[in-house]
A and B are shown apart, each in its own frame.
Chain A
Amino acid sequence: MYGEYIKELRLEKGLSLREFARRIEEDPSNWSKIERGILPPPKDRLKVLAIAETLEIPEGSDEWNKLEDFSSVDSASIPKYIMEDKEILELLPAFFRTVGSTRPTREDIEKLIAKLKEE
């Protein structure tokens, strides 16, 4: 909820993930997880203010209140997300070559699957 909503606001402002993360001084990898609902929304007051400032959301506005509400709900209820095998399969590289142009072995693929499961 929070993640989807804030991504929507970010894109409305024309900010890429990397640019947004840079402006709020957040690691883009972690911020991506927040937007995908894998990590809970930030609680730190300074961070919340930095996000609001970047998205030009005045404190007390409807958007501010909506973000606060979503944040409260998500902070209490983010379940540990475990991807199913089918989902993992869809994330495997459509085109896969290593630097040395060698073909991936079954072991390579299994290693990659393990990495994709780590969040």
Chain B
Amino acid sequence: MDRTNISKCSFMTKEVVWDRTEQFREIYKKYDSCPYDVELVAEQAGYEIIPKRDLDELDAFIGLNMKTIFVNARTYDNPSYANRIRFSIAHELGHAILHGEIIKNQHISNIEDYLSFERSLSDLEYKGFEWQANEFAGRLLVPRHHLIEQLHQQIQVLRDNNILHLLRSIPDQIRSSMSTPIARFFEVSDDVIEIRLMREDIWPPDVDFNQEE
């Protein structure tokens, strides 16, 4: 089957990905918590998490069955990688939720089909799939309303220390500094928080500087 001209990735806006993420969260709201226990929710949702040794550079992947999530056993049980693994599992869950149908429709029945499918993905399509899965993972692990709460707490810290003006003079540095405590709260990396602040359009924060002066 010639797959080279098949466009597989339907390009979604971030809002569409967010809707799908929130639908998923709503279904499993019984297990909603902060930080989000993505491993438990994935298992409750019927996905199987299998730690696998010798996966070399692969952190995690979801099988073509869209039900089995393999994680690299070397990093899975290492507390230093806990946040990374959490994000990886959420990312693979994103593939299952957003791209499950696309994969099923490929009707892959042998290795040749598999290689043919894999090679038929353009870089643009591949990046599209990855971007969507990352956006799903970020939204799932860092819910917007909790992020806004955390941001306000950090702004209050600036205010309490009389350094609120730094938000105006060195906003990028402040964002980077704030990301660390917020990331700790959500158990994700600092980078995830920096991306969420921008992607959710809540940076720079709306602060009334006149009130302070």
Contact = CB atoms under 8 A, between A and B. Distances in A.
Interface in B32-67: 37, 39-40, 43-44, 49-55, 57-58, 61-66
A113 B65 CA distance: 15
A94 interface: yes
B70 interface: yes
Contacts of B108: 89
Given A14-B40, A106-B111, A91 B70 contact: yes
A27 interface: yes
A1 B18 CA distance: 39
B109 interface: yes
B130 A109 contact: no
Interface string A76-90: 000000000000011
B189 interface: no
B118 A96 contact: yes
**Interface size range on A against B:** 20 to 34
A32 B51 contact: yes
B99 interface: yes
Q: How many interface residues does chain B have, given as a range?
A: 35 or more
A97 B129 CA distance: 12
A17 B49 contact: yes
Nearest to B123: A101
Nearest to A97: B126
A11 B40 CA distance: 8
Contacts of A110: 111
B125 to A, nearest CB: 10
Given A27-B77, A89-B110, A32 B61 contact: no
B68 interface: yes
Contact of A89 (B62, B95, B109, B118): B109
Contacts of A97: 126
A93 B43 contact: no
B118 A32 contact: no
B64 A90 contact: yes
A95 B61 contact: yes
A118 B52 CA distance: 10
Contact of B77 (A18, A91, A98, A109): A18
A95 B66 CA distance: 11
Interface of A: 11, 14-19, 21, 27-29, 32, 36, 89-99, 101, 103-104, 106, 109-110, 113, 115-116, 118
Q: Which 5 A-B pairs have the closest CB atoms?
A: A93-B61, A16-B39, A91-B63, A90-B65, A29-B51
Given A16-B37, A29-B51, A104-B118, 11 more contacts: A14-B31, A17-B49, A17-B51, A19-B40, A28-B51, A29-B73, A29-B76, A91-B70, A93-B62, A93-B64, A94-B99
